[in-house]
Structure 1
Amino acid sequence: MNHFTFPVRQARRSAAMDDAPIDWNEAWQAARLRAGKRSGKEVWDRRAPSFARNASASGYVERMLELMRPEPSWTVLDVGCGAGTLAAPLARRVRAVTALDFSPRMLELLRERCAAEGIDNVAPVLGSWEDDWAGLGIGSCDVALASRSLSVPDLRAALLKLDAAARHRVFVTAPVGDGPIDRRVLAAVGRGYVPGPDYVYPANLLRQLGIEAAVELIAVEGVRQYDTLDDAVERLRWMVPEPTPEELARLRGWLARELSPRAGGLELCPRTFHWAVISWVPARGR
Structure 2
Amino acid sequence: MFLEPIDFARMYKEHKQKTVFKGKNSGDWDNKSKEMAPRMQKSEYVEDFISRMNISKEDTVLDIGCGPGTLAIPLAKKVKHVIAIDFSSQMLEQLEAYAAREGVKNITTYHIGWEDDWSHLPQVDIVVASRSIEVLDLEDALSKMSSHAKKACYLTYKTGGSFVDMDILDYIGKKIITKPDFWYIPILLYKEGYLPKIDYIATKDASVKYSNADEFVTSLIWSLGSLDDEQQEKAKEYFELYVENRQDSIKPTFWAFVAWSCEK
TM-score scaled by length of structure 1: 0.80
Identity between Structure 1 and Structure 2 (%): 30
List aligned pairs for 1:1-286, cutoff 5 A: 19-36=3-20, 37-56=22-41, 59-135=44-120, 138-178=121-161, 180-187=163-170, 189-223=172-206, 226=209, 228-229=211-212, 237-242=221-226, 250-261=234-245, 267-282=247-262, 285-286=263-264
Matches of 1:242 and 1:121 in 2, distance apart? Answer: 41
DSSP-derived class of the 1:134 partner = coil
* CA contact 1:258–1:268 (8 Å) conserved in 2: no
* CA contact 1:141–1:165 (8 Å) conserved in 2: yes
CA shift for structure 1 position 58: 5.4
* CA contact 2:41–2:69 (8 Å) conserved in 1: no
DSSP-derived class of the 1:93 partner = coil
CA shift for structure 1 position 107: 1.1
Q: How many residues align?
A: 262
Matches of 1:112 and 1:258 in 2, distance apart? Answer: 37
In 2 relative to 1, CA 111–253 (structure 1 residues): closer, same or farther, beyond 3 Å?
Answer: farther
CA shift for structure 1 position 71: 1.7
Letter in 1 for 2:249: C
TM-score scaled by length of structure 2: 0.86
Letter in 1 for 2:99: C
Unaligned runs of 5+ residues in structure 2 are none
Unaligned runs of 5+ residues in structure 1 are 1-9, 11-17
Please tell me the root mean square deviation across aligned C-alpha atoms, in Å: 2.7
CA shift for structure 1 position 82: 1.0
CA shift for structure 1 position 149: 1.2
Letter in 2 for 1:186: L
